[in-house]
Structure 1
Amino acid sequence: MTEGFDTRETWPFECLRCLHVWEENFVVRHLTDVHGNEVDLWLSAGVTVPPPWSGTCCPHCGAYHVTSFPRGYLARHPELVPAPDPEPEPVLAAATPEPGRVSAPRTHLPGRLLIALGVPLALFVGYELYANAVALAHHH
């Protein structure tokens, strides 16, 4: 490559699954080789990435069903940009709760989930044991 220059572009996106809206900053390296062929390299944080219209993934839910807005759209429509997530309040460990204060209950894996996973597993293992026992009885 013989000639080249960089431009900076900000692309606004919206996930069509979870409706998350965000912007990504890119550096576009425009290069021309000795034969006059032009190539654009897209960089994000210094790493070569596919162009924004090709396979963008939602950072919120991981879906690939994403659309982009025209450049500068979110700057003209700030109401579309979600507020940042609030910082979680620090939890202070205390041996005994303050008087008049109820401590938060511990969260456990729901019993229904354990049943939904355990019953089919138990049935499968039971069936395999039964099938093996019948197969052994027929061979003897």
Structure 2
Amino acid sequence: MREEFESRVSWPFECLRCLHVWEEPYVVRHLADGHGGTVEVWSKHGLPVQPPWSGPCCPACGSSRLTSFPPGYLDRHPELAAADPLPPARVPSLPVEPVTRPAARVPLPRRLLIATGVPVLAFVGYEVYRYLLLPAMTHH
């Protein structure tokens, strides 16, 4: 691949959880593959990254429920970037309860295994008899 050209794009986002609005700068390298196709390589701070539409997270609350605006949208609407309704420290969070796991696996009671296993075994046995053995016995 050989490099054709490079462009700088500032991609605006809004978090749908905390309504935080911000922009992320990207560098897009447009490459030709030598077979008539083109490839875009997105990077931030010199490192290759996924394109902006492939699931970034909010820097204020960590939510992945985002919406994006067209590049340059916040330049035409500066009131959106200045209107940050909740600062990151005031974002309400849900209490998290610790997950407790049993130390050892508790075996199922034998009665439960017998109550479910016997009907399944009877059904499978009947189906085998009906489809394999019964036709063989009727066609001598």
Q: What is the TM-score of this pair, normalised by structure 2?
A: 0.57
1:20 counterpart letter in structure 2: H
Report the 3-state secondary structure (helix = DSSP H, G, I; strand = E; otherwise coil) of the residue aligned with 1:11: strand
Aligned to 2:78: 78
The higher radius of gyration belongs to 2
Residue 83 of structure 1 and its aligned partner are, at CA, apart by 7.0
Question: Aligned ranges for residues 38-117 of structure 1 at < 5 Å?
Answer: 38-82=38-82
- Return closer, same or farther for 1:75/1:3 CA change in 2, 3 Å cut-off: closer
Distance in 2 separating the partners of 1:48 and 1:79: 31
Report the 3-state secondary structure (helix = DSSP H, G, I; strand = E; otherwise coil) of the residue aligned with 2:74: helix
Distance in 1 separating the partners of 2:25 and 2:69: 14
- Partners of 2:8 and 2:26 within 8 A in 1: yes
Report the 3-state secondary structure (helix = DSSP H, G, I; strand = E; otherwise coil) of the residue aligned with 1:81: helix
Percent sequence identity is 60
Q: Deviations over 1:58-107 (max 9, x none)?
A: 111111101101222111211111379xxxxxxxxxxxxxxxxxxxxxxx
- Partners of 2:12 and 2:71 within 8 A in 1: yes
Structure 1 unmatched runs, 5+: 85-112, 122-127, 129-140
How many matched pairs?
92
Structure 2 unmatched runs, 5+: 85-94, 104-140
Report the 3-state secondary structure (helix = DSSP H, G, I; strand = E; otherwise coil) of the residue aligned with 2:82: coil
1:71 counterpart letter in structure 2: P
Aligned to 1:30: 30
After superposition, the CA RMSD in angstroms is 2.9
